[in-house]
A and B are shown apart, each in its own frame.
Chain A
């Protein structure tokens, strides 16, 4: 039973054409994260939401935006994708507590930029 669901599994977009990736969760967790993972590299945190509070990592490009309209859904918007944005994008959730925090990941969306 999938708890963190990412759609689509594969996404192809054109250079410069805006693209949105979606993530939903059935865990009712407070925190939702977006990670970028390029080939043969570790996942890199882009930003996260604690409830409605948005927290951007200092080195996340302005080209990447996020929306969280409600507890269950979170979106990653890439305003003008470049070839270097081709990667696996991973959504994760966590309860948001002071101890025993764990991340639950979706299966990811593999983004190709042509």
Chain B
């Protein structure tokens, strides 16, 4: 059973913010929300993760709703190099061994 639901694709204009939604309505209290991305022909790359508070790092921001049933990854100023498949994953705190990838969202950044 899929733990997360993401739109299959979305387009974004270069320089604009990209907002990537993820639904995880069955998330449990000890599960984190993780985001990874995979640029074509490369291994996935960690972006950010959070439990219940909003998080920000040099790559992106993560907004988690108060009920934790959904989240949004924000790429503040999308560039062409952000074109990739973005995966939202929920995993328990002792999550080693339990990272299961869903279908992800194909993001295309256009000039």
Contact = CB atoms under 8 A, between A and B. Distances in A.
A107 B46 contact: no
Contacts of B97: 31, 33, 48, 50, 55
Given A43-B101, A44-B101, A101 B96 contact: yes
B49 A42 contact: no
Contacts, number: 62
Interface string B77-111: 00000000001000101111101111110000000
A97 interface: yes
A17 interface: no
A107 B43 contact: yes
Secondary structure dominating the interface of B:
loop
Interface residues of A, number: 31
B96 A50 contact: yes
Nearest to B44: A105
B38 to A, nearest CB: 8
A73 interface: no
Contacts of B34: 102
Contacts of A48: 96-97
B94 A98 contact: yes
B91 A101 contact: yes
Which 9 pairs between the two chains have the least Cβ-Cβ distance? A105-B43, A42-B101, A98-B94, A101-B95, A96-B96, A31-B96, A43-B101, A102-B46, A48-B97
Interface of A: 4, 30-31, 33, 35, 42-45, 48, 50, 55, 88, 90, 92, 94-108, 110
